[in-house]
Every structure is written in C-alpha cells, then in structure tokens.
Amino acid sequence: NAVRVEREFDGHGRTADGHRVELLANVADPEAAQAAVAAHAEGVGLFRTEFCFLGRDTEPSVAEQVAAYRGVLGAFGGRKVVVRTLDAGADKPLPFVTADDEPNPALGVRGLRTAAAHPEVLDRQLEAIAAAAAAESADVWVMAPMVATTHEARSFVDACARHGLSRAGAMVEVPAAALRSRWIFEHAAFGSIGTNDLTQYAMAADRMLGDLAALSTTWQPAVLELVRATCEGAAQHGRPVGVCGEAAADAVLAPVLVGLGVRSLSMTPRALADVAAVLAEVSFARCRELAALALAEPDADAARATVRRELADIL
C-alpha cells in the first residue's frame, strides 16, 4: 500500500474537504504507547489489556493493573484512550478465566462472555481502569470485546457506570451485534468494529488459517454490509463507530470505511501516515461513492480492484 504522496502524519486525520476521521493507534503495552505517540496518533483506539494477564497463573492484583494501565494512559496525556477489557479465550487462553478443553474455542466462552462466570474479574479490572484514569487525568473510554446481544451491552454499560466510567462502548465483532446495532447502541455510547473477528465469524473462516486468506478479508462485500449496518444503527442514536481491526491499516480500504460511516480508524502506528495521506486526497462525497462501488461488486477481489482503479492517481 505504498502511497506516492509521502509525508508524516500531522496528528489530525481528515478528508480533502475537511470531514474529520480520527486516526488512532492500537497498543498492547506501555512501550507500544511510546511508538504511537512518536507517530502522532491522535489517541488510542484499542488498548489491548491482555499483556497484563497473559503468562500468569493467577489474576494480577488491582494495584498491579493500575500500574500497568497508567503506563499507557500517562503516555497519552489528556488524549482519548479506548481501553478494551480482557479478551481471554480462543487465541488468548488464561488458566484462571477460561477452560482449556473447549472443542471450538473461537465459538466458546471468550471476551465479555467470561464475565458471566467471573464477574469479579471484570469488576476488578474496571476498578483498576477507573483508578488509573483518575491518577493520570486521562480521557478514558472503555469497551467490551465479543458483545453479541443487547443484554450483554446493557450489563457492561451498567458495570462501567458502577465505577464512574461513563464512556462505555461495545466492540462489534460478532455479526449478530452488527445486525442489531440499533438496539446495541441504545446502551453502548460508542462502537468499535473488530474486523479480524467480524470477518472470521461472517465468513466462517478461521482467522488463524492462512489457507483461507481469500475468504478472510474485510473487502468481502458481506463484511462491508455488516460495517454499514453497524454505522447506520449507531447513527440512529448519534453514537460514533470506529474500526480497530487490521482492516483499519489498509490505506485503500480507508476511504471505503469512511464512506460507510466509520468515524475513526485505529491501527498499528506505522500505518498512520499512509492512511492519512490517502484520506487527505479524497472528499467525503467521494468516500461515499467508493463505498457504494465496493458494495455493488460481487466479491472481494472485484471490490478491491475497482477501488484501486478509482484511486489510481493517488496510490
């Protein structure tokens, strides 16, 4: 995705006509937060908190969690940091939270589902996030992974409220949540589309299987439809939706996602400059046209080829 117009990201994502698109970083530990700051990320769109839990036999204490979260929140000063609560299970097993004998772990007790059996783990994590945010005067947003139902969204928002965390959102990575977005966002204050899992579940294609790479792409029109449905449902409640899966780092796909209604893109810091450069060359109306063109194609290859051809002069 090398972009001809080379420049550094100036820390303010926008289309050619000034439509705002927040360009954020995905970070997994305090070190990554420093790299994100150096790349001028506007904030963090996905702080994966598993680093604090993985490789341990027991749950980290609240004090240990506070120290770990402060390392990331502190790096971003008062800028927005979206903290994702623990996403244990499937590819991230944890002895004290998940079972290791599930026949089909990607469809098992993972993400927010673990909170039904271990509500106290979520509760202590929210306590630690709230304390870390207070200590760093951070603009902290919190979201749950693997939300599938309205009920789950509502109980997560309620749990956050008990800790004074008012910006509580839902990741959209289960197709059911995308299709029922209007109901989910009655409760969740914002959405973040996890395209890695959303694609895996929509296409019934294991994200870890290289052999299925042709199916496992967000360029699949079916996945783009789910992105559109998510944005439309959330817009009915004035809730912003971003993308934080790998797809957010695809500079060719970025205008399509913006045209579908996505308001922020969160990615690996090294992709920020390319994504910003492409967005700066297209108007919002053009993004909407590109989204319509991609959706009208019969398959992923055709959608990608069409958008590439349309953007040929800037790629």
Q: Among residue numbers 44 through 83, which ones bind ligand PEP (CB under 6 A)? A: 46, 48
| Residue closer to ligand PEP (CB basis): 244 or 273 | 244
Specify whether the CB–CB gap between 289 and 311 falls below 8 A. Answer: no
Mask of contacts with Mg ion, 125-164, x by CB under 5 A? ----------------------------------------
Dihedral sign, Cα of residue 173, residue 176, residue 177, residue 179: positive
Distance of closest approach, residue 8 Cβ to ligand PEP, in angstroms: 25
Dihedral sign, Cα of residue 87, residue 92, residue 93, residue 99: positive
**Which partner, ligand PEP, Mg ion, none, binds residue 230 by CB below 5 to 8 Å per kind?**
none
195 lines the binding site for ligand PEP (CB under 6 A): yes
Mask of contacts with ligand PEP, 100-139, x by CB under 6 A? ----------------------------------------
| Residue closer to Mg ion (CB basis): 194 or 255 | 194
| Residue closer to Mg ion (CB basis): 173 or 246 | 173
Q: Which stretch binds ligand PEP (CB under 6 A): 14-22, 112-120, 159-167, 188-196?
A: 188-196
Specify whether the CB–CB gap between 265 and 232 falls below 8 A. Answer: no
Q: Among residue numbers 195 through 214, which ones bind Mg ion (CB under 5 A)? A: 197
250 lines the binding site for Mg ion (CB under 5 A): no
187 lines the binding site for ligand PEP (CB under 6 A): no
| Residue closer to ligand PEP (CB basis): 15 or 220 | 220
Q: Among residue numbers 171 through 190, which ones bind Mg ion (CB under 5 A)? A: 173
3-state SS string for 32-88: HHHHHHHCCCCCEEEEEHHHHCCCCCCCCCHHHHHHHHHHHHHHCCCCEEEEECCCC
Other C-beta atoms closer than 10 Å to the C-beta of 98 total 20
Would you call 137 helix, strand, or coil by DSSP?
A: coil
What six digits make up the tokens of 268? 């690996």
Alpha carbon separation from 229 to 175, 235, 296 (Å, rounded): 10, 10, 15
Smallest Cα–Cα separation from 94: which of 70, 75, 80, 113?
113
What six digits make up the tokens of 310? 């349309």
| Residue closer to Mg ion (CB basis): 15 or 216 | 216
**Which partner, Mg ion, ligand PEP, none, binds residue 245 by CB below 5 to 8 Å per kind?**
ligand PEP
